[in-house]
Amino acid sequence: MSRTRKHPKRRKPFHPVKTFFKVMLSIVMVFVVLAGGACFAYHKVTGEWPFGGDTIAKDADETSMLDALLGRNMKLNVAVFGVDADGTRTDVAFVVHYDSSQESLSLLSIPRDTRVDVCPDVEQLLGKRYGVMKFNAVHAVGGKEYGPQAAVLQLEDMLGIKIDHYVKVDFNALVEIVDAVGGVEVDVPQDMKWDMSDTGDIKIDLKKGLQTLDGNKALQLVRFRKGYANGDVGRIQVQQLFLKALATKVLSTESIVKNLGDYIKVMYKYVDTDVSLSDALKYANYITKIDMSKMTMETLPGVGQYISGVSYFIHDPAETTEVVDRLFYNVAPVGKTDSDSSNSKDLTIEVSNGGTVAGLAARFTELLKNEGYTVTEPTNYTGEKLGYTRILVKNEGVGQDLVSYFKDARVEVLPNAVGSADIRIVLGTNEQRNCFHPRTQAQDCQV
């Protein structure tokens, strides 16, 4: 994919006649549900999924309908914005990269409070100088007419990539889609309570634990932003966990067929996008080339910081370049080795007691903290009890350095099961009463 950033042409206004086919892109973008409509319609007409031989991957704007029909590889970048009722404030923002040759989706979340210098392209579009503001404010100053365009230009400037399309979704779409599929099972990481009803907003009241969320409760989950130890980043991790669970459920053929009417209604009411009719038909040919098990989710790297009394998220440009190279260009960072990627000390770890000995998770938590790891409060695991200890990670190449602390441990790449931390360790029954030190194998924490 070329790094040359193109100044996008002024977006044409949304036209309702094209709505059914624009469904397609939302599916790829987490609100994946909608795309099923176009894909299903195409399959009903042709009776087949027309995939042929492979070629070198092209960017979306270079991929013709003939390329799509022949199954030639394609790369696509789409910015997704979740907005509230007034359509201007973005509580959720991320960029999705799709690579058909890898059958993979990569998602990079952008914290709403990211501090940005409004780029010249945005100032030219809006005809005004702005200076410094939070990222979600860029969409707001663009208003309903230019908000998505302004946010896309700012993302292109910050990330150094070309964004092919945007999808803007009202949060009410989330409520109706979740209800249409019968709810989504999520392990809520903590009690969530926040009454915003005095300002006309929602009232949040969720209990910690594994549960099936209906549409209203799903909205509460993604809107909650208080009490996370790592601030907005913690909130994003919870959003990513939920969105993947939702995408996995709605992408099933059974779900598409059963709920197609509901999806189309949601599309008409709540989704705005610059995807053209021809593009939507082209992209529909790639729907079956999505493997949700290959979906990766990361957050713009940086830290929270107060500047002049205002809370910002300060992104790290150097680390951002590494993340973009890895997610969008499949390029490993220069100078990084396998041993570097396996070091878990820069990540947050949660230890869950999946065994039979009370207090064992707390003992391992203390041991790992003493070894220099960042470990959250221990928890109890309510799922199936296994003999071996499971080190659950979001990406390959992480967690191997933790194996030696346990009697019988295995690393498993299961992003949907990790939760709000970067790594979740579920202790097995084989651990029983011993904590093993990786160097001495001494019983460091007898219960």
Residue range 32-68, pLDDT digits in tens:
333 333 333 333 333 433 333 334 456 776 666 666 5
Q: Taking 90 as the threshold, does the pLDDT of residue 351 lie above it?
A: yes
Looking at residue 176, its pLDDT comes to 83
Q: Taking 70 as the threshold, does the pLDDT of residue 338 lie above it?
A: no
Residue range 100-118, pLDDT digits in tens:
877 777 888 898 899 999 9
Q: Taking 70 as the threshold, does the pLDDT of residue 371 lie above it?
A: yes
List C-alpha distances in Å: 191 to 207, 221, 303, 311.
4, 10, 24, 24
Range from 4-18, 48-62, 255-269, 293-307 carrying the lowest mean pLDDT: 4-18
Extended strands (E) in 131-202: 132-134, 165-170, 184-188, 192-195
Segment 310-323 mean pLDDT? 90
Q: Identify which has the larger pLDDT, 444 or 250.
A: 250
How does residue 397 score in pLDDT terms, banded at 50, 70 and 90?
confident
For 77, residues 6+ apart whose C-beta sits below 8 A from its C-beta are: 60, 95, 96, 97, 98, 161, 162, 163, 164, 165, 328
Rounded Cα distance, 170 and 269, in Å? 9
Task: For residue 157, report the phi and psi dihedrals to the nearest 5 degrees.
Answer: -70, -40
Q: Taking 50 as the threshold, does the pLDDT of residue 339 lie above it?
A: no
Which of 2-6, 25-29, 98-102, 440-444 shows the highest mean pLDDT?
98-102
How does residue 340 score in pLDDT terms, banded at 50, 70 and 90?
very low
Rounded Cα distance, 72 and 249, in Å? 27
- 3-state secondary structure (DSSP) of residue 135: helix
Helix and strand numbers, DSSP H then E, in the chain: 14, 21
Rounded Cα distance, 25 and 255, in Å? 17
Q: Taking 60 as the threshold, does the pLDDT of residue 218 lie above it?
A: yes
Six token digits for residue 15:
């036209």
Looking at residue 15, its pLDDT comes to 37
Segment 78-84 mean pLDDT? 83
Q: What is the pTM of this model?
A: 0.57
Residue range 139-166, pLDDT digits in tens:
999 988 899 999 999 999 999 999 998 9
Looking at residue 100, its pLDDT comes to 80
Looking at residue 38, its pLDDT comes to 33
Looking at residue 134, its pLDDT comes to 95
Cβ atoms within 10 Å, residue 225: 19
